[in-house]
Structure 1
Amino acid sequence: MTDLAHEFPVIIAGGGPVGTALAIDLALRNIACVLIETRRDGEVIPAKANMTNIRSMEHFRRWGIADRLRQNDCVGPEVQRDVTFVTRLNGHLVHHFPKTYETTDALKIASETGEWAPNRTIEATLFQRARELPLITRLHESEVTNLFQDETGVTAYIRGPGGEKTVRGQYLVIATGSASPLRRLALNVRMEGRPNLGRAFSWFIRSPNLKKVWKAGPIASMVYFYNDDRADDLLIPQNEDATEFLYYSCPMPKGFDGDNWNDVKKLLLGAVGEEIDVEPISGGSFSLHSLTAPRFDFGRTFLIGDAAHMVSPQGGFGMNLGIGDAADLGWKLQAAIEGWGGDQLLPSYTVERREAVLFCQKGAEENQEMQAHSLVLEGIEKHGPEGDAVRAEVSRLIVDKKTQQFKSIGGQLGYTYSASTIIVRDGKPAFKPLFREFKEAARPGNRAPHRFLADGSALYDHVGWGLTLMVLGEFDTAPWQEIAARRGIPLKVFAPTNPDDIATLRGVYPETAILIRSDHHIAWQGSQQPDDVERVLKIVTGNALAK
């Protein structure tokens, strides 16, 4: 074994979207890391995640890539960002959700809107940003095969083109996906929850003529087939001229072989409604799980993304929860490395993110249970008034049962860290978030309510990389700044002076002073100076347990 020349504060095993997002976050905090990925440099997975939701886009904005993702989007304008339900592509339109994945106007409650773009666009955008940051070292065609940690750091054992090497770091993050052998081998983690929700298949296909037979509704970002086959299948366009698609079934029909292309092609042509040329690019079947690791922190080693939790794809929370993990873990690793984070800070990563994950998992499981086989009614494909009546009833059922899957803004923005050990609670009854609707509240543990300011900037643009004390009236910030400086805590004071901005923010913030973390969550708030400012700062940095 030979040692690499450099040691790194953070080693990241797995360079997919979540691992790369964490690397970007750390680099922008002036924390160096090494990113170890089995794929070749620039190699992207063509068909996987498609939705970067509102919350993730708020983090992308902070990392300087929200607009870049939109510019890189490889799906052309002829694909409407809609969701449709049809019997067959050449059959009947059952229901149409317009502009489901397109928001052209800014939302006052968020600094960004969501972006529907294929996984290859998401990965390419993240990889491009990572290359721009010199504090990120990238090792491709390499794999962390094992690790050893002690009181002072972690040794990663790496296999790559040059043979076997070791690298030493202060912390190691496992971002190697749902099947993560490193999670099993190195940490002996048993996942908990609901395994085997169903079998699914996903095929990336090419068909130049498919859009020519698309008669039932517009060419949409996502089209579900609700017909007598009850196959729970759908199509998702993936490129500029709508000639490449993701064909997906979840759960696929009982006894169906999702690894057999001929069987998949037959089902697809049935969904289209006529013969067309279709070329398979890649694909196969897999099992769906709703599972979570019992904890995400193991001393100096951490699980993140799919390695920490698996979520039903219905609702698009898989990658997005991983992006949230990166935003939570990044600032805590910074604090630990720079010395202003205490013993309770890194363990709070598990407490906070498990609460968010379990909340979203529950909503995604409910989405998973409402599939075509349960909503399709006899006669849905009939012509004439009888068929129209059946389709109208199925349309009503879709609105009632499936809207949550496409309108789960509460799952994106409304989760809370109510159980966190590093927030100072306000003594009010516990906040109960909603999954389908967004319930905005300026409460410790919640995402800080967002508004745009008079100069066009987003409130979050004024949140720093450490802690930010936002002041909306008379409040003495000197004790906070003095104690933060003495303890080495990066503290920014944001005190808007425009009366309109103050009025806008006071409309959602009842207190005069609000301490906001870099991941936009409220750590403390109050209108009166706390009796012990230092204790507040010790709590939110993990240096003291809350009373």
Structure 2
Amino acid sequence: MKKENTFVIIVGGGPVGLSAAIELGHRNVPAILITENLETAKHPRCNNTNARSMEHFRRLGISEEIRANAPLAKYAPQVAFVTRFCGHEIGRIDLSKYRSTTNVAGTEFQSSERSITISQLFLEPILKRNAELKKSVSVRFGFRMIGFVSVTDGVLVDVENIQTGERFQISASYMIAADGARSPARRQFGIGMSGEDGQIENAFVAGSMLTYFIRAPSLISESGRKPANLTWILNHEIRAFVFSQDGGERWIVHYRIPEGVDWKTVNHEKVLNAVFGKPVPYEIITSGPWAGGLALVADQYQAERVFFVGDAAHLFTPLGGFGMNTGIGDAINVSWKLAAIYEGWGGASLLDTYGVERRPMGLRNSRLGVKCSQRKGAWQLPANIEDADEAGEQARRVFGEFAVVDDLEEYNTSGMQFGELYENSPIIFHQGAAPIADTWDNYIPIDHPGARVPDFKITETETFHDQLGDSYSLAIFSNDIDAKPFVDATASRGMPLKIVKCSPPLHLYQCKLALVRPDRHLAWHGGAMPANALEIVDRVRGA
């Protein structure tokens, strides 16, 4: 059997696996990505790439390409609440101010990036193309992992070419398992998942769900309403929601199947007519079931030299849009650490911090979708919500005013995106409890070890984050501090270090020195050059 060697094998070619490939390739780490898919996604699941993910993509040089290829980017992001797609509009949320680069009040810069609505249909080809451009990475669609064994110095993976049937083996020092919800890699280690399994009472999205990916070019004109990225269908007959994929022609319709009904017996014409409110021409491109109401997190994120990322590590109810985005955070975290090992400066315990840091984020982020689903499920619709008379109009107006306020937390998630805090990581110099409470909808910048470092503008086109390096960076906020102790300490360990000198807004940073990780989290800060620079360097590199 033919045998190949690499440093990292990535199993899975969705957005998370491809993000890992790009990060590793950006750092010139040898990697092979395999996926049994012959091409990128044809049935979309993800629709939102949030601002934190876009920050990662900005650092990797691809955020502008993503934005330029997002068909919905030219439209103001909107959420509509309607009785039927072609029925009465109840309320509408304009998401523009919640996707700004400033805070909700528009008074303070938060990030160089903002969330963008982009279907997986358009995102995956961009990620695949950029992964393929990396010289150290081999991207192989149409190749299936048929088994693997762990060995002392890595993994041996048996691979099959789906089109030719040829089999060969890849020997890798490490595996990133981005192999989906059923994750053969995770199951081989006997690692389960804990949390909400979808059997949630009174939830809007729970239990058995059915998705129709359709082409319906006349749907907007038939509705007589302004377009919306996301449309919630609220009536006493059916529970559903509809995502636009390209601004007018292709749509994803999610429908909750009544309890006890086999999805294969569902009449799509009856369901879609109920969603639309009248007959509208459509073509089903693909369809299939999925489980709603999930908040499941793997009991372990690492087994030996295998790391679980994305759906292999956590399964979320999609409300709030944190499934893929949390997975991208996983991929970035483990990839820079693997690069440190490959480059020779990463310490013996560095890789063990992956699960310590990312599993709490999986638990934290999993709660949003369930909470939003339960909240919508508790809504009491007026009995006359579909009536065309004045009383019906008044009922819709009153309920709509309530719904747009009650549902806002699902879309205003800056606190969750930028507020990730690695509280128990051994490679962070912790300094007591965080000075603020973790909230989903409100981000308060803090220069606290473990947190994402607050960003700020240097010029109109460049920010503090832009100036930071690919490895660790030492930011110096004072003219009277000499960086030599840190420069000497990192040089003695072969660890790259970029020195950044600038003047941040005083309310953002109370420190004069900030040691920032490759993923833009704060590892250590201080008011003066420490006497133990080498001790700090050894700790943050996992020695």
Deviates more, 1:526-535 or 1:99-108: 99-108
Decide whether aligned partners of structure 1 residues 239 and 260 sit closer, same or farther in structure 2, where only a CA change above 3 A counts. Answer: farther
1:191 to 176, 190, 193: 193
Displacement of 1:144 in angstroms is: 1.4
Q: Deviations over 1:155-200 (max 9, x none)?
A: 111122342211111111100111222321x221111111124221
1:220-235 correspondence runs (5 A): 220-229=228-237, 231-235=238-242
Displacement of 1:400 in angstroms is: 3.9
In 2: Cα distance, 1:125 partner to 1:375 partner: 42
Look up the match of 2:484: 478
In 1: Cα distance, 2:100 partner to 2:424 partner: 36
2:218 to 209, 214, 231: 209
In 2: Cα distance, 1:476 partner to 1:372 partner: 58
1:279 to 273, 280, 283: 283
1:85 to 73, 81, 87: 81
- 1:447 equivalent to 2:474? Answer no
SS at match of 1:220: coil
Displacement of 1:104 in angstroms is: 6.7
Displacement of 1:227 in angstroms is: 1.2
In 2: Cα distance, 1:227 partner to 1:137 partner: 50
In 2: Cα distance, 1:187 partner to 1:134 partner: 32
In 1: Cα distance, 2:86 partner to 2:233 partner: 11
1:167 to 145, 152, 170: 170
Displacement of 1:439 in angstroms is: 2.4
Q: One-letter code of the match for 2:471?
A: G
In 1: Cα distance, 2:92 partner to 2:71 partner: 23
Q: One-letter code of the match for 2:127?
A: L
Q: Deviations over 1:207-265 (max 9, x none)?
A: 222222112x3111011111121x3201112125x12110112x44334444446x233
1:389 to 391, 394, 399: 394
SS at match of 1:371: helix
In 2: Cα distance, 1:8 partner to 1:337 partner: 11
Q: Deviations over 1:129-176 (max 9, x none)?
A: 112112111222111122222222211111223422111111111001
In 1: Cα distance, 2:280 partner to 2:252 partner: 16
In 1: Cα distance, 2:97 partner to 2:254 partner: 18
Percent identity of paired positions between Structure 1 and Structure 2: 29
Look up the match of 2:439: 434
TM-score of the pair, normalised by structure 1: 0.92
Look up the match of 2:509: 509
In 1: Cα distance, 2:482 partner to 2:380 partner: 59
Look up the match of 1:136: 137
Q: One-letter code of the match for 1:193?
A: G
Q: One-letter code of the match for 1:219?
A: P
Q: One-letter code of the match for 1:287?
A: A
Displacement of 1:393 in angstroms is: 3.1
Structure 2: runs of 5+ lacking an equivalent: 104-108, 200-206
1:30 to 28, 37, 40: 28
In 1: Cα distance, 2:541 partner to 2:362 partner: 22
In 2: Cα distance, 1:218 partner to 1:99 partner: 14
In 1: Cα distance, 2:190 partner to 2:323 partner: 23
Displacement of 1:59 in angstroms is: 0.5
**C-alpha contact 2:73 2:117 (8 A) present in aligned 1:** no
Look up the match of 2:148: 147
**C-alpha contact 2:28 2:135 (8 A) present in aligned 1:** no
2:346 to 341, 346, 353: 341
The Cα RMSD (Å) is 1.9
Deviates more, 1:400-409 or 1:117-126: 400-409
1:270-419 correspondence runs (5 A): 270-288=274-292, 289-371=294-376, 374-419=379-424
Q: One-letter code of the match for 2:154?
A: G
**C-alpha contact 1:422 1:542 (8 A) present in aligned 2:** yes
1:253 to 251, 255, 258: 258
Decide whether aligned partners of structure 1 residues 429 and 70 sit closer, same or farther in structure 2, where only a CA change above 3 A counts. Answer: closer
Deviates more, 1:486-495 or 1:186-195: 186-195
**C-alpha contact 2:153 2:173 (8 A) present in aligned 1:** yes
In 2: Cα distance, 1:256 partner to 1:350 partner: 39
In 1: Cα distance, 2:279 partner to 2:326 partner: 39
Q: Deviations over 1:23-47 (max 9, x none)?
A: 100111111100001111x432342
Look up the match of 1:499: none
Q: One-letter code of the match for 1:200?
A: M
In 2: Cα distance, 1:492 partner to 1:418 partner: 25
In 2: Cα distance, 1:187 partner to 1:393 partner: 53
Displacement of 1:337 in angstroms is: 1.8
**C-alpha contact 1:433 1:439 (8 A) present in aligned 2:** no
In 2: Cα distance, 1:398 partner to 1:30 partner: 49
**C-alpha contact 2:24 2:335 (8 A) present in aligned 1:** yes
Decide whether aligned partners of structure 1 residues 377 and 421 sit closer, same or farther in structure 2, where only a CA change above 3 A counts. Answer: farther
TM-score of the pair, normalised by structure 2: 0.93
Q: Deviations over 1:77-102 (max 9, x none)?
A: 4x542000011223211110013598
In 2: Cα distance, 1:244 partner to 1:540 partner: 47
**C-alpha contact 1:228 1:376 (8 A) present in aligned 2:** yes
Decide whether aligned partners of structure 1 residues 106 and 121 sit closer, same or farther in structure 2, where only a CA change above 3 A counts. Answer: farther
**C-alpha contact 1:344 1:422 (8 A) present in aligned 2:** no
Decide whether aligned partners of structure 1 residues 430 and 260 sit closer, same or farther in structure 2, where only a CA change above 3 A counts. Answer: farther
2:58 to 61, 82, 100: 61
In 2: Cα distance, 1:258 partner to 1:442 partner: 50
**C-alpha contact 1:423 1:444 (8 A) present in aligned 2:** yes
Displacement of 1:429 in angstroms is: 5.2
- 1:48 equivalent to 2:45? Answer yes
Look up the match of 2:273: 269
**C-alpha contact 1:472 1:506 (8 A) present in aligned 2:** no
In 1: Cα distance, 2:462 partner to 2:497 partner: 20
Decide whether aligned partners of structure 1 residues 531 and 169 sit closer, same or farther in structure 2, where only a CA change above 3 A counts. Answer: same
In 2: Cα distance, 1:199 partner to 1:397 partner: 28
Look up the match of 2:472: 467
